[in-house]
Structure 1
Amino acid sequence: MKTKILLSCLVGSTLSLGTMTHASGLVQTKPTYVMSDYAKTKYPIVLGHGMMGFTRLGSASFGLDYWYQITPDLARNGATVFATQVSPFNSTEVRGEQLLQQVDEVIALTGKPKVNLIGHSHGGPTVQYVEIVAPQKVASATAIAGVMKGSPLADTVVSGNFFGTLVNFVVDFLSPTISTLEGNPSLPYDFKAGFRSISVAERTKFNALHPSAAIPKDCSSGQKITSDGIYHYSWTGDQKVTNVFDVVDSAFGVIAGGMLGSQPNDSLVPVCNSIYGQVIRNDYNWNHFDEVNQILGLKAWNAQDPVAVFRQHANRLKLEGL
Structure 2
Amino acid sequence: MKTWIKALALACTVAWSAPSAAWWWDSTPSDYTDTRYPIVLVHGMFGFDDIVGVDYWYGVAEDLRRYGADVYTTQVPALDSTIARGEALLPQVEAIAAVYGKVNLIGHSHGGPTARYISRVRPDLVASVTSVGSPHKGSPVADLIYGSPAESAAAGLGNALAGLIDLLSGGGYNQDMRASLQSLTSQGSAEFNNFAPAGIPTTSCGEGAYSANGVRFYSWGGTGVLTNALDPSDALLGVTSLVIGGADDGLVGRCSNHFGQVIRDNYFMNHLDEVNQALGLHSLFETDPKAVFQQHANRLKNAGL
After TM superposition, the score normalised by the length of structure 2 is 0.88
Report the Cα distance in structure 2 between the residues aligned to 1:269 and 1:205, rounded to whole angstroms: 18
Q: Which of 159, 174, 179 is equivalent to 1:188?
A: 174
Higher radius of gyration, 1 or 2? 2
- The 5 A counterparts of 1:57-96 are 57-58=51-52, 63-96=53-86
Aligned position for 1:10: none
Partner of 1:117, secondary structure, is strand
Runs of at least 5 residues in structure 1 that lack an aligned partner in the other structure: 1-14, 16-33
Q: Which of 96, 99, 102 in structure 2 is aligned with 1:114?
A: 102
Deviations along 1:231-254, one digit per CA (max 9) or x if unpaired, are: 10000010111112112x122122
Distance in 1 between the 2:201 and 2:160 partners? 34
Structure 2 counterpart of 1:259, which letter?
Answer: V
d(CA) in 2 for partners of 1:84, 1:219 = 30
Does the CA contact (< 8 Å) of 1:43 and 1:112 recur in 2? yes
**Residues 1:277 and 2:264 are matched in the alignment:** no
Provide the C-alpha distance between the structure 1 equivalents of 2:91 and 2:201, rounded to a whole number of angstroms. 25
CA distance in 2, matches of 1:217, 1:98: 31
**Aligned letter for 1:69?**
G
Look up the match of 1:19.
none
Q: Describe how 1:1-322 pairs up with structure 2 within 5 A.
A: 36-58=30-52, 63-108=53-98, 111-162=99-150, 164-184=151-171, 186-226=172-212, 228-247=213-232, 249-261=233-245, 263-322=246-305
Contact map agreement 2:193 2:200 (CA 8 A) in 1: no
C-alpha separation in 2, matches of 1:96 and 1:69: 24
Partner amino acid for 1:242? T
Kindly, what percent of the aligned residue pairs are identical? 43
State the alpha-carbon separation in 2 of the partners of residues 83 and 215 from structure 1. Answer: 28
Pairwise CA distance, 1:167: 2.5
Q: Provide runs of 4+ in structure 1 moved above 6 Å.
A: none
The code of the aligned residue for 2:181 comes to F
Give 1:217 deviation, angstroms: 2.8
Q: Where do 5+ consecutive residues of structure 2 fail to align?
A: 1-18, 20-27
The amino acid across from 2:168 in the alignment is L
Taking structure 1 as the reference length, what is the TM-score of the superposition? 0.84
Query: How many residue pairs were aligned?
Result: 279
For residue 181 of structure 1, report the CA deviation from its aligned partner: 0.7
Cα deviation code 1:134-164 (max 9, x no counterpart): 01111000000111111111111112233x3
1:61-113 alpha-carbon deviations (Å, 9 max, x no partner): xx2000001000111111000000000000111100111111011123xx211
AA matched with 1:75: R
2:128 is paired with a residue whose SS is strand
CA distance in 2, matches of 1:307, 1:210: 29
Distance 1:304 1:165 in 2: 39
* Contact preservation (8 Å) 2:116, 2:196: no
Q: Deviation string for 1:189-225 (max 9, x for gaps)? A: 1111011011111111221233224433320111212
Contact 2:37 2:127 in 1 (8 A): yes
Aligned equivalents of 2:31, 2:274: Cα separation in 1: 24
Which moved further from structure 2: 135-144 or 168-177? 168-177
The DSSP-based 3-state class of the residue aligned with 2:256 is helix
**Distance in 2 of aligned mates of 1:87 and 1:142:** 20
- Cα distance between partner residues in 2 of 1:206 and 1:46: 22
Distance 1:166 1:287 in 2: 26
